[in-house]
Structure 1
Amino acid sequence: MSDFMVSVVMPALNEEQNLDGAVRNVLAAFEKFAVAGELLIVNDGSSDGTGRIADEFAAAYPAVSVIHHALPEGIGASFWDGVKKCSGEIVVMLPGDGENDAAEILRYLPLLEQVDIVVPFVFNREVRSFGRRLLSILYREIIKASFGLSLNYMNGTVMYRKAVFSGIELKNGGFFYQTELLIKTIRRGHLYAEVPYALSRRGSGDSSATTLRSLVRVARGYVSTFMEVHAGHAGNGTPADATVSAVRLAALKEAGRRG
């Protein structure tokens, strides 16, 4: 399908009931699309059998490795740890809760020949409660008004060329992390494509995304990112080297000089 090396980072907090299916789904997607891939499971301080299951997969499959956190650090911190340790040109977060079919996002790998970021939006919105959908709409409009970022959805399984993270420091360890990264990378001028994405229902247990603690952490992340961006410390409009955006920008400048 493509020659990209893909790194899937899978944060997992107390996902004993869901992790097996989530891992097998990723490995099946690698095979389906003939992808050279690695899966980094980040056991985020789980108190159940999540760490044991992750270690069993790592022992059985060379493509799987595990990072253990002694205490929960958050989905953003888990993803960023995976980014620092992964070896792929392309990196994507797929949580260990079984809500996401890896094939749904990996089918869009060829787009990364033309852009640096693939941003999925959920088109089967009925899988989410009305309250969750309303919260997403409100969130989207706040981000659009605050940062000029007009995207359908910002908290999904975004695929990045890893090179876009050059020079970026992630400051939010919670659920706001994906929005922070999109704000910082897109404001630097990185090209992106939005794509439709089907979401599955969570296999077992409850999501922690809309707990009071998570929402408070998101609010803090929003405030800190707002201050950072509008103080001029993030998003200078210059794409990172070794990205599609940088190459295309250089080509346009060269064409302009010749013209």
Structure 2
Amino acid sequence: MSDSRAGEATGADRAADLGRVVMVVPTYNEADNLEWIVDRLRRAQPDVDVLVVDDGSPDGTGDLADRLAAADRQVKVLHRTEKAGLGAAYLHGFGWALQEGYDVIGEMDADGSHQPEELGRLLAALAHADLVIGSRWVPGGSVVNWPLSREALSRGGNLYVRLLLGISVRDATAGFRLFRRSALEKIDLETVQSSGYVFQTELVTRALRAGLTVTEVPIEFVERVRGASKMSGAVAAESMKRVTRWGVRLRREQLRRAWGRR
């Protein structure tokens, strides 16, 4: 057996040990990428189910997802009627997965930036964690085909999050993740406020506040080669505004507690 096949077998064993695992893949206009990424994921981790959550894509992504599901019983599809944000799509998918009794619920992008072949690393780390993040900014992590300006924006944004919210996670904005069922239940998804990309930061912050174990493992993040990115300067700015509000509220609470002790 070759090394790559041995790695795949090991990853499949880890998935089986963790119980039922599903990866939630939100989509909006990803017809060029969806079949390719689902095929890679199913080959890399045959025991892992896939849930596509489509936000009413006008390019036919939803119809393509239905065809994939019809050909593979481990592929499921949820159709939403409008584009309501990344966080809203994930919350819909998480709710469905919890209701269906999954033990591990993951996140990954549909555009190929998160490589399914690296999912085994996250599965292995979940043996000793409640939430595992595939991180670009820990030793061994990397990005491919990013301009320096975008790397600076991501690194700077994560530094801002760490300083303002007082957390140690180096890639709080990352979207390649695995949650134990118990972790999502403790986070209290019904009170999550974020619908956009800052959703990722809110969930990891909530996990840490709940006393859960969060582990980062290095991944190679590859910029999409097909389709248009949903990230923009306006989206990043809105995320930072929300993080700033959380940080200000946190500092007020800390001052209030300190004043009370005096």
Quick check: 1:132 aligned with 2:147? Answer: no
Deviation at 1:50, TM superposition (A): 0.5
1 CA distance for matches of 2:29 and 2:68? 16
Quick check: 1:119 aligned with 2:133? Answer: yes
RMSD: 1.9
1:148 to 162, 166, 184: 166
Partner of 1:195: 217
Partner of 1:241: none
Partner of 1:159: 178
Deviation at 1:111, TM superposition (A): 2.0
Quick check: 1:75 aligned with 2:96? Answer: no
User: Gapped runs of 5+ residues in structure 1?
Assistant: 233-259
TM-score (norm 2): 0.80
Task: Flag the 1:227–1:82 CA change in 2: closer, same or farther, 3 A.
Answer: farther
2 CA distance for matches of 1:108 and 1:208? 25
Quick check: 1:217 aligned with 2:225? Answer: no
1 CA distance for matches of 2:26 and 2:249? 26
Is the Cα–Cα contact under 8 Å of residues 18 and 203 in structure 1 kept in the other structure?
A: no
**Larger mean Cα displacement after TM superposition, 50-59 or 186-195:** 186-195
2 CA distance for matches of 1:230 and 1:82? 33
Is the Cα–Cα contact under 8 Å of residues 144 and 221 in structure 2 kept in the other structure?
A: no
Deviations 1:134-153 (A, max 9, x none): 00121112111111112221
Partner of 2:256: none
Is the Cα–Cα contact under 8 Å of residues 41 and 116 in structure 2 kept in the other structure?
A: yes
Deviation at 1:216, TM superposition (A): 4.1
Deviations 1:3-42 (A, max 9, x none): 22111000011111111111111111222xxx3x221101
Deviation at 1:224, TM superposition (A): 5.0
Deviation at 1:46, TM superposition (A): 1.1
Quick check: 1:108 aligned with 2:122? Answer: yes
Partner of 2:22: 7
Greater share of helix residues, 1 or 2? 2
Partner of 1:171: 193
Task: Flag the 1:231–1:10 CA change in 2: closer, same or farther, 3 A.
Answer: farther
User: Gapped runs of 5+ residues in structure 2?
Assistant: 1-12, 254-262
2 CA distance for matches of 1:230 and 1:6? 38
Deviations 1:70-101 (A, max 9, x none): 11011111111111001321111111112211
Partner of 1:251: none
Identity %: 26
1:61 to 41, 61, 72: 72
Task: Flag the 1:220–1:162 CA change in 2: closer, same or farther, 3 A.
Answer: farther
Partner of 1:180: 202
